[in-house]
Amino acid sequence: MTINPWGSEVVNAEKLFSEFGLQKISDNIREFFMEELLFERGLIIAHRDFDKYLREFKNGKKIAVMSGIKPTGMYHMGSLQAAQEIVMLQKRLNAKVFYSIADLEAYADNGLTYEKSHENAISNIADLLAIGFDEKQAYVYKQSREMRVIQLANIFATHTTKATVEAIYGERHMGLYFAAFVQMGDIYLPQHESFGYEHVVVPVGLDQDPHIRLARDLAHKDHGLKLNPPSSIYHKTMLSLDGAKKMSKRNPDSMITLYEDEKSLKRKLANAFTGGRDSAEEQRRLGGRAEICPIYHLGYDLFDADDLRNKSRWDRCYGGKLLCGECKKEMLNIILEWLKQHKEKRDEKEHIAKEIVSGKYYDTG
């Protein structure tokens, strides 16, 4: 079984547990993060050695979080989920965040020019700052400008066979293999001697596990570097509005961006797949199916922190008392209010985002 980390398919979590050794989130981990919605609601569903990472944190060791964004467009709700995870770890663990603007991957996978990636990255970083990201406790960089990443990528590629990458990723063009090794450089940048963070966690979606497996394998290669395998945590996939695949920039009508206006959001929600029945009469009689409904999960996973309100929405759906049109109107108002507040915060942070993306904010080490 190979997984395409550049695709938009939803990955079967059970196969990753059974075939690739992902670990379930333990009660101890959940208890440590008991006040965090991402853990409380089961949105973070798996890990690799995150328990060991937390042990190093408790022992007072230097820890880091490694993440990033492929700057191919505006932030959407799937990106928002990942961003909230990064901010939560940064605040909860007081961890240094290394954040890669993956412009090399955007070129290899999407043919995006570096100029366009730069423009997109400003909006992406402004969104991240608005969500609560602390730029003072971070290092944000472009892949194309960070020579330590490129040097690490070259070392890793030299010590990896083509058969290994084909076994992990399947047959892809060489640009994607190159992008994968650049990501390996990203993942191990915190451990570079100029930073010295030996313990790193990488928050990702399930579809990104091939990168984690390759990175962990590289720690044991004879390349002359002393490396600790990265830990990882995996969040639940945010479904697209058509209910078929993960939310992705590849299908603009099935995603919601953080820049949607009321007219556009209303249209997208109106056309969205739901867990409803074929008719209102049938839904009142049989009830809806909230567990497969992207509209319900927008509230539960992202926008509604009120447990009682979410439980009421679930119960009314299954009891046939809440029809899909009513639920969409309810969610429209919740999301619009969130987007309004987010825009105000983003506008305040845009000048900082421009400095960060231009490279003026951080020094080189």
- pLDDT tens sequence across 305-344: 999 999 999 999 999 999 999 999 999 999 999 999 999 9
User: Worst-scoring range by mean pLDDT, 6-15, 130-139, 175-184, 352-361?
Assistant: 6-15
248 vs 56, which has greater pLDDT? Answer: 56
User: Worst-scoring range by mean pLDDT, 142-156, 237-251, 274-288?
Assistant: 237-251
User: What is the per-residue pLDDT for 363?
Assistant: 56
Q: Say whether 313 sits in a helix, a strand or coil.
A: helix
Whether residue 92 has pLDDT greater than 90: yes
User: What is the per-residue pLDDT for 364?
Assistant: 46
Per-residue 3-state assignment (H helix, E strand, C coil) for 161-199: CHHHHHHHHCCCCHHHHHHHHHHHHHHHHHHCCCCCCCE
- pLDDT tens sequence across 136-175: 999 999 999 999 999 999 999 999 999 999 999 999 999 9
251 vs 154, which has greater pLDDT? Answer: 154
Cα–Cα distances (Å) from 30 to 33, 50, 84, in that order, read 5, 11, 17
CA dist 210 and 277 (Å) reads 37
pLDDT band at 81 (very low <50, low <70, confident <90, very high): confident
User: Worst-scoring range by mean pLDDT, 23-32, 58-67, 173-182, 245-254?
Assistant: 245-254
Instruction: Give me the mean pLDDT over the 86-91 stretch.
Output: 96
pLDDT band at 251 (very low <50, low <70, confident <90, very high): confident
16, 204 contact by CB (below 8 A): no
- pLDDT tens sequence across 5-49: 988 777 778 888 888 899 999 999 999 998 899 999 999 999 999
**Angle between helix 209-218 and helix 174-188 axes, rounded to 10 deg:** 60
Calculate what percentage of the chain has a pLDDT beyond 70.
99
352, 129 contact by CB (below 8 A): yes
User: What is the per-residue pLDDT for 123?
Assistant: 96
Residues making up the chain, counted from first to last: 365
User: What is the per-residue pLDDT for 179?
Assistant: 92
User: Worst-scoring range by mean pLDDT, 100-109, 242-251, 327-336?
Assistant: 242-251
Q: Say whether 319 sits in a helix, a strand or coil.
A: coil
Average pLDDT, the chain: 93
Q: Is residue 14 classed exposed, middle or buried when 0-12, 13-18 and 19+ CB atoms within 10 A define those classes?
A: exposed
Sheet holding 44-48, edge to edge: 23-24, 44-48, 231-235, 199-205, 63-69, 96-101, 138-142
